[in-house]
Each structure stands twice: as C-alpha cells, then as structure tokens.
Amino acid sequence: MTPPGCTMVSEYNASTKTSTGQTLGFPDYEVQKHSCSVLKGRWDSERYCAEIRKKRAPWEVMFNNRFSEFYFHKCDELEPMVLADVEEIVRSMKKHAQAFWERTHWVTMDVEADDKSAAAELNLAMAFDTAAAEPKEARACSLLSEPGIWTVPDKACPWIWQDPRVTELGGPKCLSLETQLGDLDAVEPARMQWATVSVDEEWL
C-alpha cells in the first residue's frame, strides 16, 4: 500500500483520497465513493468471519498487548479518584475492544451478499455507536494522552483487501487475510492502538 495521503492504492486498484478531520496519528485516507463497488467485489463473509472468530480474536490481542503503564504520570502522584477513572476507562476499553478494532480496520462490505454480511454490518455499526457513547473523560485530562488510553478516531480507517482477480490474470497470489492484517498493523500501528510497536520512538 502506498503511504497515507496518496491518491491511489495501485497494488489493490482502489482509489483513495485524503480524509479531512481525522484524529491525529491515525491513517488519514479514505476510499473514493466510486471504488466502493470494487471493494464490495472482494468482500467474503466466510473469510472475514474466520479471521475474527479465531481462538484469540484480533481485538483480544490488541487489548492484551496494550500499554499497561503510565509514560507521562506517576501513579503515586495521582489522586485515588483519578486512578478510579482510569480503571473505569480500561474496563470500557475491554468491553468494547471489538468496536475499537473494527473502527480501525473498516472493511467495505457487500451487505446484500448473504445474511452473514448484513448481520456483520449491523453489529459493527451498533458496536461502534455504543463505544463512542461511553464516557471516557478522566478528571486529569492529561491522562488521555497516555498511550494506554485508547482513542476512537473521528474517521474510520479503511482496511483494503488485496484483489483476488490479480491471480486469475497471472499475477501473484493474494496473501491470506491474516497476513494482510499483520502487514497492515505493522505499517500503521495506530490501528492497533500502538500495541504492535516494538520501540517507544514509534509512537512518541
């Protein structure tokens, strides 16, 4: 995939454009409307469900690998009520981990393909609405800058699948969704709320 801000993801033959008003640090591009039909053609509910219904769902991995310590504060200097706020926020993160993950791995679905597709789209929308409505304001506003406090990006971050038709035309075989997902999260770690970074400098 080309870097965010470019006008074409040529490898996948899906046009994108810069997304205005995106939360700082998150992918700031979105799919062009005329490319939606292209991406719907790649949608496969069976492959998608197989990927997200593993023994360890990707959002569970994201939560378990999250930042679990403060970088800009000291626990012994925070008031008990502030620490209680943090605990409540983390509980909310765990409860709505799937919605956080779906928001940063937004797939263009063909909801008319089958019942699973329609249900997946509905569940995704409901989950995100619930997560976005959860109160996440801490008494110490500076805590919201901690990498361990997840952020709901203002705009969804598209996950553009490789086109299987490339193989039919003699091109390289498409990578599995698992591999595509791993590569995507490595290049754009904000999608995993920075849980995939190996060194602090990647998010600082």
Residue 162 burial class via C-beta count within 10 angstroms: exposed 0-12, middle 13-18, buried 19 and up = buried
Strand order in the sheet with 14-18: 8-9, 14-18, 29-31
Residue-level pLDDT at 2 = 36
- Residue with token string 């989950």: 127
22 in a domain, yes or no? yes
* pLDDT score for 70: 87
Q: Is residue 79 part of a domain?
A: yes
Q: Is residue 170 part of a domain?
A: yes
pLDDT score for 164: 81
Enumerate residue ranges in the chain where pLDDT < 70. 1-15, 19, 118, 121-140, 198-204
Does 1 fall in a domain? no
Q: Are the beta carbons of 34 and 156 closer than 8 angstroms?
A: no
**pLDDT of amino acid 180:** 95
* Residue 107 maps to a domain: yes
Residue 43 lies in a domain: yes
Structural domains counted in the chain: 1
The confidence score (pLDDT) of residue 73 equals 86
> Quick one: pLDDT at residue 167?
78
Q: Is residue 3 part of a domain?
A: no
Structural domain harbouring 89: 8-202
